[in-house]
Amino acid sequence: MNDTYDLAVVGAGIIGLGAAYAALKRGLRVIVVDRQADPQGATVRNFGHLCIGEQTGAARVHADRARELWLELGRAAEFWVRESGTLIIARHEDERALLEAAVADDLALLTAAELDALLPSAPGVAVGGARVARDLQTDARSASAAIRRHLASRGVEFRLRTSAGAVGGGRVQTSRGPVSADLVVVAVNHDLDQLLPELAESVGVVRCGLDMLRARIALPRPLPAPLLTGWSLLRYGRFSGMGETAVVRQRLHAERPDLAALDLNQMYTPLPDGTILIGDTHVRGASIAPFQPEAAADALADEVETLFGARVDVLERWQGVYASGPDDFLVTEPDERTVVLAATTGIGMTTGLGLAENTLAARLDALASTEGILR
């Protein structure tokens, strides 16, 4: 085969799908190449928690755009996405002080009594909390498959079970033959080190491995929205650079060095079937060992019992993997017809659709104009 397209996308994760969607809306001919038959990577191994309000800077810009696109695609592709907001529980006065310092139009404080009325947490655990209004929630496992089906139904070609071996100059060498395009977008996340190893090494992109669980928790009433804890506030850009966060970090690390060693993000996301996603831990390296220590899962389960005072019935556990680098995003052009896009921290689902649209808009508009398609 030697096919020619307006846009060729390598990688059918959320950023690759975002690139394909952006091109499709401009009437361009698009092909997506992926080595897997079904979604397998970071796009399905996450919470489905689209934490828009926890971002800042470029991440917030991409997240805000992604929010619009998630809602748009949810309607068009008919998959579950809800404007859930996010609850944050403060279990110590320094966490409450951090939330007070972060108050804005999209983050409202809650008293301990208000939070207790919303959360099925153990009595007396909360000293306060907050609600982040703009956050969304979806089911990661079904959403990406639904987006693929929707794009395919509108003319995007998917060439699956197909490996890309080399990319450059508007050409992708694949295991099913070459593909040519006016523009090639590489969106392979942590597999960047397999396709473009010198680029990955030069910018310091490695892999981050996670421990995650899906469980039933014997709660007196359902968890109404995704829930973040003080451990979560250490990670997200909106909070991580604040002086108040340093105080929280110092205390948590001193009190629980075992959890700090796991690089914990203690968060909980309810699914429509009543189960709850629990996680997560983090470890980084050029490769991630596939062997998950049971101690990590035990620590996650123990924290559930501390917070909710309830038993955990673990249904599934898995290892997530995503690209990790010195910045939130990798956006680079190895040549004039190739763009490499990656979220190099754990906010790919939150920002990926917006990253693709915002980064590629001018290039895709120019291609559409050249084709005489732009209206």
Q: What is the CATH number of the domain that holds 254?
A: 3.30.9.10
Q: Are residues 69 and 93 in the same domain?
A: no
pTM of the model as a whole: 0.94
User: Which CA distances in Å does 76 have to 32, 69, 70, 330, 374?
Assistant: 20, 10, 10, 29, 21
State the pLDDT at residue 373: 53
State the pLDDT at residue 375: 42
State the pLDDT at residue 101: 96
Residue 117 C-beta-side C-alpha neighbours within 13 Å: 6
Q: Are residues 200 and 56 in the same domain?
A: yes
User: Which CA distances in Å does 187 have to 24, 56, 216?
Assistant: 17, 23, 34
Residue 375 lies in a domain: no
State the pLDDT at residue 200: 96
Q: Give the pLDDT of the chain (375 residues) as one tens digit per residue.
A: 447 899 999 999 999 999 999 999 999 999 999 999 998 888 999 999 999 999 999 999 999 999 999 999 999 999 999 999 999 999 999 999 999 999 998 999 999 999 999 998 777 899 999 999 999 999 999 999 999 999 999 999 999 999 999 999 999 999 999 999 999 999 999 999 999 999 999 999 999 999 999 999 999 999 999 999 999 999 999 998 899 999 999 999 999 999 999 999 999 999 999 999 999 999 999 999 989 889 999 999 999 999 999 989 999 999 999 999 999 999 999 999 999 999 999 999 999 999 999 999 999 999 999 876 544
Q: What is the CATH number of the domain that holds 155?
A: 3.50.50.60
The residue range of the domain holding 30 is 3-79+139-205+326-370
